[in-house]
Amino acid sequence: MHVLTFNSGSSSLKFGLYRVDDGRAEMLLDGVAEGSGATATLRAGDRGREWTGRDLSDAERAHPLDGIATLLDRAGLPAPDAVGHRIVHGGFEVRDDCRIDDEVLQRLERARRFAPLHLPPALAAIRFAMARYPDVSQVACLDTAFHARMDEVARRLPLPRSYDEEGVHRYGFHGVSCASIVRRLGDEVPERLVIAHLGNGSSVTALRKGRSIDTTMGLTPAGGVPMGTRSGDLDPGVVIHLIREHGMDADALEDLFDRHCGLAGVSGIGSDMRALRVAAATNDDARLAIDLFCYAVRKQVAAMAAALGGLDALVFSGGIGEHDARTRSDVCAGLVWMGVVLDGSRNALAPGIVSAEASKVVVRVVPSAEDEQIALEVVTVLVTG
């Protein structure tokens, strides 16, 4: 089966075409669309061959999904038998991976308020794929599904039961990434594992025998540790203060917490960790933003270890987790008391095992394979009905 995947993040749209056979997914083409309008770029590769946004017309740059379709046609690859869509949040009504029909699409439309950075582009990709491939099955692969079986003590928020019954509780996100890491580790998945998915969106998840038992993000992807532009967890009193003293309504609060906080808000520069590393040499706010981020992640790794009753392995993933050795070093430097000891040379050469031989906790860098995971999950949904 050939599966086309769309992976809508908060700052990009990734896509891929995979041949899935006997539980394995072979990548035929993958790429990413970033930016919008005149600044939109589109990159895709197939076994070393690469196309760029310069090959696209102005109209295609304005509508990256059309550009993606053009690339697929130009590559001469098989047409997809199914299309899989990463869905960050299905809201109260869509909890598990499923085929997308008109009813499911309506339910996802109602859930867009829970993930305003992610769901609008994901819904656009679904509508595009339905129109472009009308006779092909569309499948929703939910980030929240990986965490759906957490025990009530982790899932429940400290609110009256009536709110929990209407669906106001901890959902957890980055589930497709976590599932891909568990799959890639295979028999090496330990009893007590923590995954730190660090990027423009960041979360820390505790897994026992490969199953999520707790995670930092809550009702929405804005919760947990500070992120690129998202605030992470805040004292509810902050929200009340902003309403009373600054006259903010729900839309203004949502815009602030999703787009103007985190690394960007503290630094006053932006959310790109690479740029912040350069600026930190002379800019105190940039240095503080990095320190605050690493401090928050370190605290949550320790908290998840406490939830697990100890820690056997720590995995870093996501754009920052995979590519920024100093962030990994800064996070782990405060976890020596737990037996976490990095090897400097290994850390510089990641991915792979980056912990020292003497470390009691195995520390790994495992690149997330979300698109491949989506392709495999699509086939599972179609085969099991």
**Residue 56 corresponds to which tokens in the numbers above?**
């696209």
Q: What is the DSSP letter of 355?
A: B
Name residues whose C-beta falls within 8 Å of residue 70's C-beta, 6 or more positions apart in sequence: 56, 60
Measure the CA–CA gap between 375 and 263, rounded to whole angstroms: 32
Q: Among residues 213, 150, 216, 209, which one has the least CA distance to residue 185?
A: 209
Asked whether 96 and 142 are in contact (CB, 8 A), the reply is: yes
Token pair recorded at residue 133 = 């491939």
Question: What is the DSSP annotation of 267-332?
Answer: HSS-S-HHHHHHHTTT-HHHHHHHHHHHHHHHHHHHHHHHHHTS-SEEEEEHHHHHH-HHHHHHHH
If phi > 0 it is left, if psi is from -120 to 50 it is alpha, else beta; for residue 356 that is beta
C-alpha Rg value of the chain to the nearest Å: 21
Residues 27-34: contacts with CB within 8 Å, 24+ apart?
27/371, 27/372, 28/2, 28/77, 28/78, 29/71, 29/72, 29/75, 29/77, 30/371, 31/68, 31/71, 33/64, 33/65, 33/67, 33/68
The SS3 call for residue 237 is: helix
Whether the upstream peptide bond of residue 190 has omega within 30° of 0, thus cis, is no
Active site residue 143: yes
Task: DSSP letter for 336, please.
Answer: G
* Residue 1 token pair: 């089966």
* Catalytic residue from among 21, 66, 81, 143: 143
The residues facing 355 across adjacent strands are: 342
C-alpha distances out from residue 29 to 19, 96, 221, 318, 367, Å: 10, 27, 29, 21, 18
Active-site residues: which are they?
A: 143
